[in-house]
Structure 1
Amino acid sequence: MRPLKQLVRFGWEQALSCLFPVVIFASLAITQLVPLPFLPRYDWLLIICLFMQWWMVRSGLETWDELKVITLFHLIGLALELFKVHMGSWSYPEEGYSKVFGVPLYSGFMYASVASYLCQAWRRLKIELVKWPSLLLVVPLAAAIYLNFFTHHFWIDIRFWLAGLVIIVFWPSWVTYEVNETRYRMPLALSFVLIGFFIWIAENIATFFGAWEYPNQTDAWSLVHLGKVSSWLLLVIVSFLIVATLKQVKGKRRTGVDASQSL
């Protein structure tokens, strides 16, 4: 029974870490089924996301440092949305006062919710990284992955080359986590794949409830192409690298402060 109990506890901790994404999906479903008065749907979604973000910080579920990371992801995601919608990769067909160049501002929170999940899971599962690569490798790799989302529209798509580099750079790396005071470990590359796959599932749910619309979903909803897993995989890697780097830097600063106080 112990493995089953550990699995249930692990699932519970993951569910708590997904609180922000769950609220977003619930809001998408509710506003799709029950039209709200006074404002267009996209504007209500923005209000709900802003209130949820405020409540998570107010209640202590997220720290101010985590809010800074999440805000960074909101801006990164919004920049990507503006470009992709302009290029016709997907669209937001509904009306809204909070749309900028065809992109509703609530869309940035969908990216921010990924960062929220990572920050929450990091703290709840007491995640530690083993054999984390040098910043000289991590930062350029993350930048190249993000830039490829833009440049592949004008140049060759190098996502699979980048995925290969990720495997090479992170092959020796592990992530360790704790469930009921028992430590487990997983290859870091495998964790990227699993998170990317589950975000692809979440993307199907989001498009079903009209969060956005791909060109092949204009007439009727259809399953998001499985090839999108690679896109989400790379985006998750960027997210994880940013969160991990900030956690590493903060951890070193805390260690330095503790050492100076002990002196």
Structure 2
Amino acid sequence: MDTPDGAVSLTTTERAIDARFRAVLARLPQRGPVGWLTEFLVFGLKQAWACVFGAAMLAVILAAHLWYPADAPLARNDFLTVAAIAIQIAMLLGRLESLRELRVVVLFHLVGTIMELFKTHIGSWTYEPDGVLRLGAVPLFSGFMYAAVGSYMVRVNRLFDLRFSRYPRRWLTAGVAAAIYLNFFTNHYVQDVRWLLIAIVALVFGRCVMRFRIFRLHWRMPLLLAFLLVAFFIWLAENIATWSNAWLYPSQVDGWHPVSLTKLASWFLLMIISVVLVTWIAPPQPPEPTQPPDDRQRLESAARTDAA
């Protein structure tokens, strides 16, 4: 799980964990089903590690919904805010996140809170009115949910040593991200152009291919597909959060039901804002010229040779 020169380096804690895992996994066969299984296992472990902030937040939200006492002196929303702050501090003290990356996480927090203030005012969703740690109708823990997305983005960038072929110019992506953010506000007053924005995103990022390393091998994926997959898992987390009554959409007030799949479009567009913010500390890196053309093809060839 180490990161080559030129990419965002692992934290001290991650380097120690990486060394231990490599010492164990290096003994496993490189070819055949075991090789594939090793890659799959490491992929899952890295994704779980990248999601640690969001997973901790979601676990606290779910636990508070199931077990938090109704007569507790501290309101549930305030408890969630205190827990979110504690998680963030633990991330820093445990060397799971660097101070440099914290800047992006804080920026996610601010961008998300501004949107929350507007959306709750306009009635797009609501929170329980309890607690004092809030801005207007928005409990402060809500900003940490956006920060969790930012944490995932900066962590997955270094854990998988993300490289990009034909990445669009950053000034262009910044312009698209600004238009997307603006539309989240203006769609309540003028025509919602999210589908036009999705088409623009497809045009701008359509040629970009993301290359990432799991353990021994490098893999490729269209960047648009990566956006969609992350948006889908955020949608799943949103269903858990709304079921836990962290917030509710108007249609869920009289009885919970799954969040509409149309919300995937919003989360897909949020990915663009997320990526642009992350490029502030980690500019997109091209594939290394010394990398083999395609390790996956080499493994497939070796597997066919073994089978023969």
Per the normalisation by structure 2, the TM-score is 0.79
CA RMSD in angstroms comes to 1.5
Between stretches 42-51 and 132-141, larger displacement belongs to 132-141
More helix by share: 1
Count of residues in Structure 1 that have an aligned counterpart in Structure 2: 251
Report the equivalent of 1:125: 160
- Contact 2:170/2:276 (8 A) holds in 1: no
What does residue range 207-226 of structure 1 map to in structure 2 within 5 Å? 207-226=242-261
CA deviation after TM superposition for structure 1 residue 246, in Å? 3.1
Percent sequence identity over aligned pairs: 40
Equivalent residue for 2:214, pick from 146, 170, 179: 179
Report the equivalent of 1:38: 73
| 1:18 corresponds to 2:51 | yes
What does residue range 81-230 of structure 1 map to in structure 2 within 5 Å? 81-230=116-265
Equivalent residue for 1:236, pick from 271, 276, 279: 271
Runs of 4+ in 1 over 4 A off after TM superposition: none
Q: Distance in 2 between matches of 1:41 and 1:139?
A: 37
Q: Distance in 1 between matches of 2:151 and 2:106?
A: 10
Amino acid at match of 1:166: V
User: Partner of 2:258: helix, strand, or coil?
Assistant: coil
CA deviation after TM superposition for structure 1 residue 101, in Å? 1.2
Per the normalisation by structure 1, the TM-score is 0.92
Amino acid at match of 1:170: F
Amino acid at match of 2:68: P
Report the equivalent of 2:18: none
Amino acid at match of 1:33: L
Q: Distance in 1 between matches of 2:172 and 2:135?
A: 35
CA deviation after TM superposition for structure 1 residue 245, in Å? 4.3
CA deviation after TM superposition for structure 1 residue 243, in Å? 0.6
Report the equivalent of 1:78: 113
Q: Distance in 2 between matches of 1:195 and 1:244?
A: 17
User: Partner of 1:91: helix, strand, or coil?
Assistant: coil
